[in-house]
Amino acid sequence: MAPDESLAANVCALKTGYRHLDSARLYHSEGPCGESIWQSAIVRSEIFMTSKVFQGGYTETKAAVADSLKDAGLEYLDLYLIHSPYGGPEARKGAWRALVEAQKEGKVRSIGVSNYGVQHLEETENYIKELEKELGKGNAGALSVGQWELHPWMPRKDIVAWCQERDIIVEAYCPLIRGKRFNEPVLQPLIKKYNKSAAQILLRWSLQKVRFISPFSIPLSSWQ
């Protein structure tokens, strides 16, 4: 979206009840997200804002966090992710170390990754252990959240299982598949049976498939 469109969409979303804004350096969306928070007059602590650095490296990630805060006009971000595993092992390790430091400095609350494969996750896990030897136990950051495109046609079972074994929160992006599969035959009987939209059925799949969110499960028939 163009900045003005993004701002208008975010302001509308916050008025509707949304409380999580997901942005990224790559998308140039931090400014509109931050501005929408101030325009909404909602207390900052009630809104969860995420951003991401696209291609890591220690120096690049340090600069990215600073630029994210400046562009958003915020003192901290609730979650900061490494957007992708691009750049190679040293770049990924450097990015992680920079995020650990940003977290210690209070610039970000939680840190994690996005679009990582299992091999990248295991690399990060091993690097955290290495850092703990250098910095002390508990000082190397925690992989709190992993973000992937997740839906019935892209369940990523190996990644989800890996995260669940370690109590890492699995966050789905594009759970509605950009609206491109609402007419899939497999959805139609469920839409008819429960008298719900395709979007509701797909969101329900996410809630039931990702174990971390299951305590919030509500009978489908009670949805508004």
Tell me the catalytic residues: 27
Lookup: tokens for 79: 């979650």
Strands in the chain per DSSP E? 20-22, 48-53, 77-82, 108-114, 143-149, 169-173
Upper half-sphere CA count for residue 105 (Cβ side, 13 Å): 14
DSSP string across 97-149: HHHHHHHHTTSEEEEEEES--HHHHHHHHHHHHHHHHHH-TT-S--EEEEEEE
Instruction: Give the residue among 56, 55, 50 at the shortest CA–CA distance from 80.
Output: 50
Six-digit token pair at 218? Answer: 């509500």
Whether 170 and 146 have beta carbons less than 8 Å apart is answered as yes
Give bridge partners of residue 53 from the DSSP assignment.
82
Give the CA distances from residue 42 to residues 15, 36, 39, 67, 86, in Å, rounded to whole numbers and listed in that order: 9, 10, 8, 23, 36
